[in-house]
Amino acid sequence: MKKVWITEARIVTASGGLDDTWQGLMEGRSAIKEITRFPTSVHDSTIGACIEGLAPRGRHSMIHGLLDRLFRRPLTLPPGTLILTASAKAGIDNLERLHRGEDVDTDDMLPSRLPFIVGRKLHSVEPGVNISSACASSTIALARAASMIRSGSARSVMVLCLDLLSEFVFSGFSALRILSARPCKPFDRMRDGLSLGEGAALLVLADEDLAKERGLPCRGTITGWGVANDAVHIVTPAPDGRGLASAIAAALGRAHLEPGQVRAVSAHGTGTIRNDRAELAAFRSIFGDPMPAVYSVKGAIGHTLGAAGGIEVSIALCCLAEGLLPPTVGFGEGEEQTAAHVTRKPEPLSGTRILATNSGFGGVSCALILEAGAA
């Protein structure tokens, strides 16, 4: 079986690129603020984490601006690199503009067209496919890429994920009554909903031999993955976290690890009452006592939907490189069973592994095991 290296990781969030986002997290800063991009007065919240300066370009969606920011630095991919994209809504802002009677590129609106848009920007003849599995989209894309490399069906795969904070998306979450009127508070006992954000991530995965042949760095490795669906409700996770627990168990199995060998969790941590409760139930069922340290980044950059997994894995690579876990921005007072496990301030990373989890509407969950260096 091939070892799966992550050789490149880039992100764009409301806090900036990867270095800026990491620094903001470690300082406990939040990019969630009043939204000026569209009117919010009729909604349950007026705040979100928007990327400054992001705007449509002529007929094109804001996704082109996101892509251009990811590609500001030259990107050299090994020959034959496959492209997987991940997005829940792609250029959904163009649907809003179309409804207002504007002339727009309707291709930008379709998630299925995202691989072709990316392929054109990279002059690639193999544009790949898009994975759209709600807020677990990019985590599942990374799992698929890792599976392809480990099995030998691909030697290198680029995973590119993005989603926008649009009025269409914002109104949908408001209708579900799960937006918080204040910056979200993941795992806090006073949490009352999520804060939306937007962003993009680009990660390149390669098998170890190819990476060494081409002199590519090892930012970290993916050693295990699991995907499951609890099939309980269209938007609400199973209260006992059974779907996520199944995904974590599968990831541990693929990595040939016992639960106690993982001492940190990059959690989905949206700040909704039900998600956080179900996620912690899943962690308790897998790890028992003592629980690993748990953190969420969504109090700082908002919930970036289908891009969340790619962004959060990139941040987890910083954790592995620095030997530190960020504070969970917005977390103050935990419930009885969580207070001792959720990070309040930067903490040393105990060990060289991080479990990264994400879940989405429809009951889908995905878990990845990340390890430092060339494990």
Residue pair 32/183 in contact by the 8 Å Cβ criterion: yes
What is the distance between the alpha carbons of residues 367 and 359, in angstroms, rounded to a whole number?
Answer: 9
Residue 99: active-site member: no
In 28-154, which ranges are E strands? 33-34, 47-48, 82-86, 129-131
Q: Which residue out of 161, 218, 268, 319 is catalytically annotated?
A: 268
Q: Which residue out of 303, 318, 319, 366 is catalytically annotated?
A: 303
Q: List the structure tokens of 347.
A: 């903490």
Residue 256: active-site member: no
Torsion of CA 186, 189, 190, 193, to 10 degrees: 40
**Residue tagged 């995904």 (tokens):** 247
In 178-273, which ranges are E strands? 199-207, 220-229, 264-266
Q: Which residue out of 135, 318, 319, 366 is catalytically annotated?
A: 135
Residue 268: active-site member: yes
**Residue tagged 């990831």 (tokens):** 251
Residue pair 87/161 in contact by the 8 Å Cβ criterion: yes
Which of 66, 60, 167, 163 lies closest to 104, judged by CA?
60
Q: Which amino acid would we find at residue 280?
A: L
Distinct helix (H) and strand (E) counts, the chain: 11, 14
- In this structure, how many other beta carbons lie within 10 angstroms of the beta carbon of residue 288? 10
- In this structure, how many other beta carbons lie within 10 angstroms of the beta carbon of residue 166? 22
Taking the chain, what is the end-to-end CA distance rounded to the nearest angstrom?
13
Q: List the structure tokens of 314.
A: 């990139």
- Ordered alpha helix ranges (H), 214-366: 242-255, 273-287, 298-301, 308-322
Q: Which residues are catalytic?
A: 135, 268, 303
